[in-house]
Structure 1
Amino acid sequence: MNTALHRSTLIALAGTALALSLTACQNDFDTKSSSAATPAATVASSPAAVASTAGKSTGTSGSTGSAGSTGSKGSTGSIGSEAGSGGSTGATGQQAAASTPVCAASDVRITAARQDGPPYTHIVLTAKNTGGHSCRLTGFPHVQFLKSHKQDVPAVAKSKPAAPVVLAAGTPAYALVKVSDGGVDEDNEPVSAFSVMLEGDSTVIAVTAPGSGGIAVDPAKALTGYWTPELRNGADDF
């Protein structure tokens, strides 16, 4: 009886010990599994990992931004400057004109004609190159209508041409000259001939006034335009 009871007690104690041992093993396995998963989660959320990730994404956007350097191809805009330099052709033309000798009084023949109809407020001077070579007609005609009035007729700046006036042999240039406001005025004086000088030449050229009775000149109202290859409406109106 006592022997059977003793065995039963031993069996019960052994079962209890086995159960406790299994429970301890299970808890230990869970603890190890939990601790093994924790480092992985920590790495994903650690500041170093975030910085590394951000650095990679920043590098990516930076490299993409470098693609913008292709925008430097905009430097082809320099082609425009090269094309603009074609304007140097105009400069070459001006240099060529500058090398052409200035027209002297002996190179041209100057005549005068009335412009439009009455009251004949303007005349047109024509300077034709009668020489055998090209020459450059500069500035404006220096006109004096009266012996009693020794001052040159003032020039109108807006009539000045943009380019030098170069006359080939046989070609003309023109200058518009205002002589009065027209009509009968006590300040007007009859003129049958007047003098013209070219810029850079002191030779006096005598020009016959147009019309059988000459022209009526008011020295206070007289004006002259610059020499131009052609008469230009608007620019020469004064």
Structure 2
Amino acid sequence: MNFQRHRTSLLAVAGTALALSLTACQSDDASGEPAPAATSSATGKAADGGQAGTSGPTDTADPAHAEASKGSTDSGGSGGSAGSTGEQATAATRVCTARDVAVTAATQGGAPYTHLVLTAKNTSGRSCRLAGAPHIQFLESHKQDVPAVAKSKPATPVVLAAGAPAYALVKLSDGGVDEDNEPVSAFSLVLEGDSAVIAVRAPGSGVAVDPAKALTGYWTPELRNGADDF
């Protein structure tokens, strides 16, 4: 009887201890031991996630930013390019004056020398627009400007960048011995839109000019075959 009671007491104590142990385990599961492991895992993910979060948004934001920057640059570049060489720049560019260019003359072809090539080089250090045809007077006895040939007129105004040249072909005579040619060692030239007179030295020892046959082409970026045949 005492043994049975003692055994029952032991079982009761053991049951109580087991219940306490289970309660403690449940308490640990709820708020105890696993928490550090979960915290460590979360910290690890937070660190990884921080890098991913940093690189992720950076990867997402940077391309967008780069694309936006590229678009802005491309747009600006295109605008700059259009502003520098397009029609707006041509319309806004100031007209070249005698101070902006240096004009030289050279014979074209061989003897008899019937044509000159005029070169106007922009020496101003900034762009200017070379309009129209050169206004040329070869002789003091002939005050009229040499007539300009319409077919040599370029479609758009010639804009000279700093250091760039433009050309005009000038007919002196037909090359005939029976023409009324007169020797010319220098002549006057005025640019369209300017009033200053430029003195141009004739090449070599001078040229022979027939005032009745003289013609001039318009200023062009280059001498064009066909359009300048006169």
Return the TM-score normalized by structure 1.
0.60
**Could you report, residue by residue, the CA deviation over 1:126-159 in whole angstroms, capped at 9, with x for unpaired residues?**
0000001000000000000000100000000000
2:101 equivalent among 105, 108, 117: 108
Match of 2:86, SS? helix
Contact residue 110 and residue 128 of structure 1 kept, 8 A? yes
Query: 1:209-224, aligned counterparts within 5 Å?
Result: 209-212=202-205, 214-224=206-216
Distance 1:105 1:117 in 2: 30
Match of 1:106, SS? coil
Tell me what 2:222 maps to: 230
Tell me what 1:124 maps to: 117
Give the stretch that moved more between structures: 178-187 or 195-204.
178-187
1:142 equivalent among 129, 135, 151: 135
Distance 1:191 1:204 in 2: 17
**Could you report, residue by residue, the CA deviation over 1:19-60 in whole angstroms, capped at 9, with x for unpaired residues?**
xxxxxxxxxxxxxxxxxxxxxxxxxxxxxxxxxxxxxxxxxx
Match of 1:220, SS? coil
Are residue 99 (structure 1) and residue 92 (structure 2) matched? Answer: yes
Q: Which amino acid aligns with 1:198?
A: L
Query: 1:1-238, aligned counterparts within 5 Å?
Result: 93-212=86-205, 214-238=206-230
Give the stretch that moved more between structures: 95-104 or 169-178.
95-104
Tell me what 2:58 maps to: none
Contact residue 134 and residue 167 of structure 1 kept, 8 A? yes
**Could you report, residue by residue, the CA deviation over 1:164-203 in whole angstroms, capped at 9, with x for unpaired residues?**
1000000100000000001323510000000000001110
Contact residue 121 and residue 180 of structure 1 kept, 8 A? yes
Q: 1:93: Cα distance to partner?
A: 1.9
Return the TM-score normalized by structure 2.
0.62
Distance 1:222 1:94 in 2: 33
Distance 1:148 1:94 in 2: 41
Distance 1:219 1:186 in 2: 10
Report the structure number with the largest CA radius of gyration.
Answer: 1
Structure 2, unmatched stretches of 5+, are 1-81
Structure 1, unmatched stretches of 5+, are 1-88
Tell me what 2:52 maps to: none
Distance 1:128 1:229 in 2: 11
The count of corresponding residues between Structure 1 and Structure 2 is: 148
Contact residue 94 and residue 164 of structure 1 kept, 8 A? no
Q: 1:107: Cα distance to partner?
A: 0.1
Distance 1:125 1:186 in 2: 23
Q: Which amino acid aligns with 1:168?
A: A
Q: 1:211: Cα distance to partner?
A: 1.7
Distance 1:182 1:151 in 2: 21
